[in-house]
Structure 1
Amino acid sequence: MTNINLPGPAPAALLARHPLLQDLPPGLLPEVVAGLLRGASPLRAEPGQVLFGEGDEAFHYLLVESGQAEVVRYGYNGDERVFRVFEPGQLIAEAAMFMPHGRYPMQARARSALLAWRLCRHQLHDACRRWPDLALKLLAALSKNLYDQVNKVDWMTSSSAPERLANYLMGLRERQGSTVTLPLSQRQLAAHLGIRAETLSRLLNDWQTQGYVSGKRRQWAVQDPAYLARLATTAKRPF
């Protein structure tokens, strides 16, 4: 992982489009962006390279310019669980900048060739002190993430394996269309859904035989969205 001068869109333009900065007064936006980028440094990482490790001191959060990154954690039995995949324009580990222990709670690594920017923790703290609207937006985003995780835990403890897989595939379908590309390997996806890899493989094979889906490995087409939608209904919250 090396520092370089990155080509392509300016980090200021990426950051200005981030939801965290939406609805700020237009005259204030350039000042906030400049403050957050003060002291930022560019980086490049090859696929599989670690961006920061679980337990490392959290001095920076990341703004992805191109490529993909993922955050992972290893279980006590050594199983790897991918919690989220990050795309261009997204921030990684901004919540870690406020953790009392000052350390990253997960490992981040490049999923593909990655171009990103390291943004400074103390600049984010200073920005929140200077611009209360930014601090409130950040609190709202962190609260939503917490709410989503509570719902996810509730869903994972009360749903069946077919319901979890159906909900996951329908979420991908909403974003990608009727043909979806799994962002995780099937083994990683099984861990993400809290089911055995053999169960996931059997489900996909059964659904393919019955005509609900078609495909292999990471490429799948949803042939019967109504069936999967019925399975996924219990994951929907009223608010």
Structure 2
Amino acid sequence: MTKVDGAGGSPAQVFGHPLFQGMPEDMRPILLRDAAVLHTQDGKTLFHEGGEAVEYLYVFSGSIEVLRHTQDGQERVFSIFHPGQMLAETAMFMTHGRYPMEARSRGDAVVLCLKRTGLQEAVRAWPELAMRLLNRLSDRVYQRVNDVEWYSDSTAAQRLADYLLRLHGDPADGPVRLPLTQRQLAAHLGVRPETLSRLLADWVAQGHISGARRDWALLNPSFLESLAQAARRSF
């Protein structure tokens, strides 16, 4: 990755992240050693799946998506990271030393690139950081276990309803805009693109939603909630 110094964010902002809040002053230079600000344009790949995992990222502005390519060449977007969030920090501790996914900029973005060596040294010197990372990893493992059960036990309609409701948030916010293309969303939900298109068309015809492409209004959230709730876990 090519880095430049300049406006866009102060490296000290990273200490506002929950992982690093309260970090001792003498540890901070270790964490920031050789860190650099990266200004990246839309569609720029920040690291590749299988590449050597030497840096992790803190997002100053814009957003970064992490994805994998399926065997049939489709893109599956796993997460989208926004300002104040961090990505790939867990990859700094993988025994194979490789990135498990690809990271790509969604629009112009500014990120802070931090080094694996600094994070590992900080973990050895400050046990609280190790505990926070363990908590973070444990929560992610638990979420992935639930995801596996969700994908195996739920229907395509239940998964789509749950996804739209999570995007919807506060009904006062109005229509939702899909952060993914419909083809990417189909891969994310584990359904065929044709199935996704049919579900959306059926729900439009039935008056439950309205819209097209990426912009949708949820006209009957209770219908979607009744679908999603049946497959959700209580915790």
TM-score (norm 1): 0.92
Counterpart of 2:148 in structure 1 is 153
Question: Does the CA-based 8 Å contact 2:59-2:110 persist in structure 1?
Answer: yes
Letter in 2 for 1:80: E
- The count of residues paired between Structure 1 and Structure 2 equals 234
Offset of 1:38 from its aligned partner? Answer: 2.1
2:125 corresponds to which of 124, 130, 144? 130
Counterpart of 2:192 in structure 1 is 196
Question: Does the CA-based 8 Å contact 1:167-1:235 persist in structure 2?
Answer: no
Distance 1:42 1:235 in 2: 43
- Report percent identity of matched pairs: 50
SS in 1 for 2:217: strand
1:91 equivalenced with 2:86 (yes/no): yes
Counterpart of 2:16 in structure 1 is 17
Offset of 1:143 from its aligned partner? Answer: 0.8
Question: Does the CA-based 8 Å contact 1:43-1:116 persist in structure 2?
Answer: yes
Distance 1:73 1:227 in 2: 32
Offset of 1:179 from its aligned partner? Answer: 1.5
Question: Does the CA-based 8 Å contact 1:51-1:107 persist in structure 2?
Answer: yes
Out of 131-140 and 30-39, give the one that drifted further: 30-39
Question: Does the CA-based 8 Å contact 2:175-2:218 persist in structure 1?
Answer: yes
SS in 2 for 1:111: strand
Letter in 2 for 1:213: I
SS in 2 for 1:172: helix
Counterpart of 1:185 in structure 2 is 181
Out of 114-123 and 173-182, give the one that drifted further: 173-182
Letter in 2 for 1:214: S
1:172 corresponds to which of 167, 174, 188? 167
Offset of 1:18 from its aligned partner? Answer: 1.7
Offset of 1:8 from its aligned partner? Answer: 3.7
Can you list the C-alpha shifts for 1:88-140, whole angstroms capped at 9, x where unaligned?
11111111000000000111111111211110101111111111111111110
Counterpart of 2:66 in structure 1 is 71
Counterpart of 2:2 in structure 1 is 2
Distance 2:220 2:25 in 1: 47
Counterpart of 2:115 in structure 1 is 120
Distance 1:122 1:157 in 2: 39
Is the alpha carbon distance of 1:45 and 1:218 closer, same or farther for their aligned partners in structure 2, counting shifts above 3 Å? same
Counterpart of 1:40 in structure 2 is 35
Counterpart of 2:220 in structure 1 is 224
Offset of 1:11 from its aligned partner? Answer: 2.8
1:234 equivalenced with 2:233 (yes/no): no
Structure 1's unaligned 5+ residue stretches are none
TM-score (norm 2): 0.93
Q: Please tell me the root mean square deviation across aligned C-alpha atoms, in Å.
A: 1.7
Letter in 2 for 1:159: S
Distance 1:231 1:181 in 2: 21
Structure 2's unaligned 5+ residue stretches are none
Letter in 2 for 1:42: V
Offset of 1:33 from its aligned partner? Answer: 4.3
Offset of 1:5 from its aligned partner? Answer: 2.1
Letter in 2 for 1:21: F
Structure 1 consecutive aligned stretches of length 4 or more whose deviation exceeds 6 Å: none
Offset of 1:234 from its aligned partner? Answer: 3.2
Is the alpha carbon distance of 1:184 and 1:30 closer, same or farther for their aligned partners in structure 2, counting shifts above 3 Å? farther
Letter in 2 for 1:184: L
Is the alpha carbon distance of 1:175 and 1:17 closer, same or farther for their aligned partners in structure 2, counting shifts above 3 Å? farther
SS in 2 for 1:232: helix
Counterpart of 1:60 in structure 2 is 55
Distance 1:169 1:178 in 2: 12
